[in-house]
């Protein structure tokens, strides 16, 4: 019995050491006082008063970086400046190209949506879901964490949904808006999860 207790104690200690060994490292930060990562700039993409603004009348807009990450966290601040309160906007992650990615959107009326696009075909992980956590006509923080197949979705640092999916193991990050809105993005942060080899 004593030997079993020692083995169990060693196992618990080992698990604890493994958890300590895994850590997140900040690998990307973008505030739009400058455009150091060269996000696109044209009639639909601009930097205004320290925000990256996407604006379109009648079409979807994407902006993305090939900042490949496997496991980690992606976070940004987002707000609807003008336009339809029913239009969706948000972030993309583990992005392969403009047609393959995971997404996390919200609308200013207080709903969010999580899902994926595979070869342009969208699949929702949940329906549009209302939450009082979304601040209407104000700044909201969207955050996703991705560890293997587990995807966790947070709004204003509160978890609102989680899902398991294996379609994309790694990929870049992106921003998205539907048509008819002007949306501001700022304080884009990306962390990678690294495991200690010791």
pLDDT in tens, the chain (198 residues): 444 433 333 333 333 434 455 688 999 999 999 887 789 999 999 999 999 999 988 889 999 988 778 899 999 999 999 999 999 999 999 999 999 999 999 999 999 999 999 999 999 999 999 999 999 999 999 999 999 999 999 999 999 999 999 999 999 999 999 989 999 999 999 999 986 544
Q: Which residue has the tokens 């509160």?
A: 158
Closest by CA position to 144, among listed 104, 175, 111, 107 = 104
Q: Which pLDDT score, from 0 to 100, does residue 21 have? A: 59
- Cα(113)–Cα(107) distance, rounded to whole angstroms? 9
pLDDT (0 to 100) of residue 3: 46
Closest to 104 in 3D by CA, of 73, 142, 70:
142
Which pLDDT score, from 0 to 100, does residue 190 have? 94
State how far the Cα of 56 lies from the Cα of 156, in Å rounded to an integer. 26
Calculate the CA dihedral of residues 83, 151, 168, 185 and round it to 10 degrees: 30
Q: Are 78 and 90 in contact (CB under 8 A)?
A: yes
Helices (H), the chain: 2-21
Specify whether the CB–CB gap between 113 and 124 falls below 8 A: yes
Whole-number Å distance between alpha carbons of 184 and 51:
6
Residue 68: its pLDDT value, please? 79
- Domains of the chain with bracketed CATH: 24-194 (2.60.120.560)
Tell me the pLDDT tens digit for each residue of 98-126.
999 999 999 999 999 999 999 999 999 99
Helices (H), 22-98: none
Contact 24, 144 (CB under 8 A): no
Tokens describing residue 56: 């379109």
């Amino acid at each position: 019995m004593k030997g079993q207790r020692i083995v169990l104690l060693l196992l618990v200690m080992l698990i604890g050491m493994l958890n300590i060994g895994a850590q997140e490292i900040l690998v990307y930060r973008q505030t739009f006082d400058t455009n150091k990562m060269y996000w696109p700039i044209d009639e639909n993409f601009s930097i205004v008063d320290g925000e990256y603004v996407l604006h379109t009348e009648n079409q979807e807009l994407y902006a993305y970086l090939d900042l490949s990450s496997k496991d980690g966290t992606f976070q940004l601040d987002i707000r609807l400046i003008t336009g339809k309160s029913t239009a969706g906007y948000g972030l993309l992650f583990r992005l392969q190209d403009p047609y393959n990615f995971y997404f996390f959107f919200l609308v200013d009326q207080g709903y969010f949506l999580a899902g994926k696009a595979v070869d342009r075909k969208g699949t929702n992980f949940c329906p549009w879901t209302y939450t009082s956590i979304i601040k209407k006509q104000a700044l909201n923080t969207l955050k996703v964490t991705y560890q293997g197949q587990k995807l966790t979705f947070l709004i204003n640092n509160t978890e609102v949904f989680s899902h398991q999916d294996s379609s994309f193991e790694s990929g870049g990050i992106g921003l998205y808006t539907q048509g008819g809105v002007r949306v501001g993005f700022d304080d884009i942060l990306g962390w990678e999860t690294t495991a200690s080899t010791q």
